[in-house]
Amino acid sequence: MTHFLTKASLAALLALCTIPATVSTAAAAGPQTSFDVEAQYHRPIRGCSPMHAVRKARDFGLRDARITRMSPRVVVVAGRERRGWDRITFANVRGCPLIRR
């Protein structure tokens, strides 16, 4: 029983000590600081962005690369190669992995 009372009193003491620390930190941050934090937050891209797919297709050697089809599963980029027209298919997930060339 004494161990329980010791642990409960220690937990209550820690809880009471943290309340003033959180209030002073929140008061120090003005409205401008919270605005800056919200302005710097960028939503992560879950799928393959069109710009990333075109950039990757250019790295694979396609010139004049353009998005021809975009679905929830694939992103198709078409362009010219040395031998003529070609298209590259990327998966519509993060990182744009190559499916078909």
Q: Where are the chain's structural domains? A: 50-100
Does residue 64 come out as left (phi exceeding 0), alpha (psi in the -120 to 50 range) or beta?
Answer: left
Question: What are the two backbone dihedrals, phi and then psi, of residue 62, each rounded to the nearest 5 degrees?
Answer: -85, 135
Bridge partner residues of 98 (DSSP): 90
pLDDT digits 0-9 by tens, 10-34: 677 667 666 665 555 555 555 554 4
H-run or E-run covering 54: helix 50-59
CA distance 76 to 72: 11
* pTM strictly above 0.85: no
Residue with tokens 């990333």: 52
Tokens of residue 29, six digits? 């941050």
pLDDT of residue 7: 77
